[in-house]
Amino acid sequence: MTILLEEETEVSFDFDHKTLASEVIMAACDAEKCPYEAEVNLTLVDNDGIHEINREYRQIDRPTDVLSFPMQTYEAPADFSHAEDCVEDNFNPDTGELLLGDIILSVDKVREQAAAYGHSEKREFAFLILHSMLHLFGYDHETEQEREAMEARQRSILDDLGITR
C-alpha cells in the first residue's frame, strides 16, 4: 500500500495525523475487500487551497471539507471485477498497485467542523478521510438509499477503528 501524503499547509494537530491517515485508508481498503495493493494520494490544504480546487473542478465557488477524485469506475461500490480490463490505466506501472485516486482535505475545515459538531479533530480528520475513501471505492450519497449505505459503511469502519464521536 502506498499513501502519498503532501502537506500544502501547516498541520499541527494534537495527534499523529500521518499514522491516523494510514490507519483509516488501510481500514477502508480492508473493509471494502480491495483485492489489490493500492495507491492513494492525500493532500492536506487550507480553506483557500480547497476553495480554488472546488471552483476549478466542480464550479462551486466556496471552500469545502474534502474532495475526492476517483481513478476507478465501478458498476457497484467496491466492485473490482473490471479493474484488470485496462491494466495500463488502472495500475501504477512501476509498483503494480491499483490507483484508487486523490483526496484533498482542508485542515481548516477539520478544525471548524470538529468544533461545530462537538467532537475531536482526530474524529473529524478520520471521518473525512474515510468518507473520501468510500467515494474512491464508488460510493455516493446522491439518493437516500446511497446515503444510508455510505453512512452505514462509515459508522462500521469508524467503530472498528474505535473512533467515535
What pLDDT is attached to residue 86?
85
What is the band of 165 on the pLDDT scale with cuts at 50, 70, 90? confident
pLDDT digits (tens, 9 = 90+) for 85-141: 988 899 999 999 999 999 999 999 999 999 999 999 999 999 999 999 999 999 999
Q: What are phi and psi of 112, to 5 degrees?
A: -60, -50
Q: What is the pLDDT of residues 19-74, one digit of tens each?
A: 999 999 999 999 999 999 999 999 999 999 999 999 999 999 999 999 999 999 99
Model pLDDT, residue 52: 98
User: What pLDDT, on the 0 to 100 scale, is given for residue 90?
Assistant: 94
Q: Which residue has the cell 500500500?
A: 1
Q: Band the pLDDT of 164: cuts 50, 70, 90.
A: confident
**Are 153 and 134 spatial neighbours (Cβ–Cβ below 8 Å)?**
yes
User: What does pTM read for this prediction?
Assistant: 0.96
Q: List alpha helices for the chain, DSSP H.
A: 17-31, 47-58, 87-90, 107-117, 121-136, 144-161
